[in-house]
Amino acid sequence: MKIAIPLEQKDLNASLCPSFGRAPYFLFYDSDTEEGEFVENSAATTPGGAGIRAAQIITDYDADIVLTPRCGENAAEVLNKADVAIYKSMSGTARENVTAFLAGELALLRDFHSGFHHGR
C-alpha cells in the first residue's frame, strides 16, 4: 500500500504541511517495502488549481492513501474519483503519522474546504 503525505521538508521527521495542494514536497511511503520517496510538488507554485494538480501527482504515483491535515474540495474530488482514500493526519512527524495510520488510529477526513482562490 502506498501512502502519500504533504511535507514541509524532505525528511521523515518533518511535520506535515498544513496545505495539501501547496505543500513543497510529498512523501510516498510504500508500507510493503517500507521504503519512502520524496517528490517535489510542482503544483506548489501554480497560480491556481494547485489542489487539482497536486492530486494528479498523487494519482500519477499510484498512491492508495493520503494523510493530510486539510484538503480542498477539488483535490478531494480528484482523489475520490481515483479511489484514493483521504485520512486526517494528527500532529507530529510523517513517520509518526505512518505508524498511527498503520495501527488504524487515523480516521477518514470528512471536511473539505472550498478554495482560497484569487484572494485580494
Partner 1 sequence: MADRRDMKVAVLSGKGGTGKTIVSVNLAAVAGTSVYIDCDVEEPNGHLFFKPVISSVEEVAVKIPVIDAAKCNGCRRCVDFCKFNALALIKNRPRVFAKMCHSCGGCMLLCPQKAISEQERTIGVIQRGTAGNVTVCTGELNIGEATGIPIIKRLLQLGAADVRCPVFIDCPPGSACTVMESIKDADYCLLVVEPTLFGIHNFRMVYELVRLFNKRCGVILNKCPAGGNPAEDFCVEHGITILSRIPFDHELGALSSEAKTAVWESERYRRQFALIYETLIQEVCHEAVAYS
Contact residues: partner 1, CB under 8 A:
43, 46-50, 52-53, 55-56, 59, 74, 77-78, 81-82, 114, 117-118, 120
Q: Which CB, 78 or 90, lies closer to partner 1? A: 78
Q: Which CB, 43 or 94, lies closer to partner 1? A: 43
Closest distance of CB 50 from partner 1, Å: 7
Q: Which CB, 2 or 10, lies closer to partner 1? A: 2
Q: Which CB, 80 or 99, lies closer to partner 1? A: 80
Closest distance of CB 21 from partner 1, Å: 9
Closest distance of CB 7 from partner 1, Å: 21
Closest distance of CB 117 from partner 1, Å: 6
Distance CA 14, CA 57 (A): 20
Q: CB-based contacts of 118: which residues, under 8 Å, 6+ apart? A: 48
* 21 neighbors 5 (Cβ within 8 angstroms): no
**Closest by Cα among 3, 14, 65 to 37:** 3
What DSSP assignment string belongs to 48-95? S-HHHHHHHHHHHTT-SEEEES--BHHHHHHHHHTT-EEEE--SSBHH
